Amino acid sequence: MPLLSVAGLSKSFGGLRAIDDLGFTVQEGEIIGLIGPNGSGKTTTLNLLTGFLKPDTGSITFRGENVTGLPRHSMSRKGVARTFQLTKTFLNFTALQNVMVGRMYGHRPTASLDAAREEAQQILEGVGLGGKAQVPARQLTLMQRKMLELARALAARPQLLLLDEVMAGLNPGETEDACCLIKRIRDTGVTIIVVEHIVQAICGISDRIVVLNMGRKIAEGPPGEIIHNPQVIEVYLGKAYA
164 and 64, same domain (yes or no): yes
| Residues comprising the chain, all counted | 242
Residue 86 confidence (pLDDT): 78
Calculate the alpha carbon distances from 67 to 2, 50, 76, 131, 235 in Å.
14, 10, 11, 39, 32
74 and 162, same domain (yes or no): yes
Task: Confirm whether 84 is domain-assigned.
Answer: no
Residue 242 confidence (pLDDT): 45
Task: Confirm whether 118 is domain-assigned.
Answer: yes
Residue 197 confidence (pLDDT): 84
Judge contact between 160 and 188, C-beta under 8 A: no
Number of domains, the chain:
2
165 and 152, same domain (yes or no): no
- Report the alpha-carbon distance of residue 152 to residue 155 in Å, rounded: 5
179 and 109, same domain (yes or no): no
Residue 241 confidence (pLDDT): 41
Residue 97 confidence (pLDDT): 94
Residue 15 confidence (pLDDT): 86
**Domain residue limits at 183:** 1-79+158-242
Last residue of a domain, one of 102, 137, 156: 156
123 and 165, same domain (yes or no): no
- pLDDT, tens digit only, all 242 positions of the chain: 899 999 999 999 988 999 999 999 999 999 999 999 988 999 999 999 999 999 999 999 999 999 999 999 999 999 999 998 878 888 899 999 999 988 887 777 777 888 889 999 999 999 999 999 999 999 999 889 999 999 999 999 999 999 998 888 888 898 899 999 999 999 999 999 999 888 888 999 999 999 999 999 999 999 999 988 998 888 875 554 44
Residue 223 confidence (pLDDT): 94
Q: Kindly report the pTM of this predicted structure.
A: 0.91
Q: Which CATH number covers residue 233?
A: 3.40.50.300
165 and 226, same domain (yes or no): yes
166 and 230, same domain (yes or no): yes
The DSSP secondary structure of the chain, one letter per residue, reads --SEEEEEEEEEETTEEEEEEEEEEE-TT-EEEEE-STTSSHHHHHHHHTTSS--SEEEEEETTEE-TT--HHHHHHHTEEE--SS----TTSBHHHHHHHHHHSSSS----HHHHHHHHHHHHHHTT-GGGTTSBGGGS-HHHHHHHHHHHHHHT--SEEEEESTTTT--HHHHHHHHHHHHHHHHTT-EEEEE-S-HHHHHHH-SEEEEEETTEEEEEE-HHHHTT-HHHHHHHH-TTT-
178 and 204, same domain (yes or no): yes
126 and 239, same domain (yes or no): no
